[in-house]
Amino acid sequence: MNTLIVASTNAGKIHEVRLALHDLRDWAIEPLPSGLPAIEESGATFLENAALKAVHYSSLVEGLALADDSGLCVKALGNRPGVWSARYGATAEERNRRVLTELAGLADSPDRGAVFHCAFVVARAGVVMWSTEAQLDGQITSEPTGGSGFGFDPIFFVPELRKTLAQLTTEEKNRTSARGQALVRLRQFLTWP
């Protein structure tokens, strides 16, 4: 049995990875063991941050370490919060409120366009083995809508679906989101002969 350690403490991310890969019989999908030292996300891009985490944690665990860095880039906010998405407030609600408040203060900019980015990196024993990046275009709503998902999902509207990511089931989100796209590519990597 092969082991893929999801190098995240975000329960929502771990759940999405497990759900997307649940039928891979040769793979055990595990969370990070508790007590491991964290690493500062000092990269300038999502891919750099994911690589930092994958290399760091893969040197501390057996098997492969999967790290992701993902976030929201809002065009009218100069692509903020960007790589600082997880640090844009103490809680998801605070981060969402901050984005909505900053947009409300830009009355002269009706553009609420945004992009969700996701970068995945897989490493073993401190060496990067594989990486991918994906994105999803959408818009920021004027208020949170929907009770599923996590993070910025309640304020990220997908025009083609006419729903926010928080209004989608986990299965629908895994087919649509930037992380869902990256998960499809991860599955291909893990099942390559």
Q: Which fold has domain 2-191?
A: Maf protein (3.90.950)
Q: Whole-angstrom Cα distance, residue 81 to residue 102?
A: 11
Q: Whole-angstrom Cα distance, residue 166 to residue 160?
A: 15
Q: What is the reported pLDDT for 13?
A: 86
Q: What is the pTM of this model?
A: 0.90
Q: What is the reported pLDDT for 173?
A: 87
What residue spans define the domains of the chain?
Answer: 2-191
Q: For CA atoms 44, 13, 144, 93, give the dihedral sign.
A: negative
Q: Which residue type, as a one-letter code, is found at position 113? A: G
Taking each helix axis from N to C end, the angle separating 178-191 and 11-21, rounded to the nearest 10 degrees, works out to 50
The CB density around residue 64, as the number of other CB atoms within 10 Å, is: 21
Q: Are strands 27-31 and 2-6 parallel, antiparallel or unpaired?
A: parallel
Q: What is the reported pLDDT for 109?
A: 63
Active site residue 69: yes
Q: pLDDT digit string (tens) for 124-140?
A: 999 999 999 999 999 99
Q: Whole-angstrom Cα distance, residue 52 to residue 131?
A: 12
Backbone angles phi and psi of 92, in degrees to 5: -60, -40
Predicted confidence pLDDT, tens digits, the chain (193 residues) = 999 999 998 888 898 899 889 999 999 999 999 999 999 999 999 999 999 999 999 999 999 999 999 999 999 999 999 999 999 999 999 999 999 999 987 766 678 999 999 999 999 999 999 999 999 999 999 999 999 888 999 999 999 999 999 999 888 888 899 999 999 999 999 998 7
The active-site residue, picked from 69, 108, 137, 153, is 69
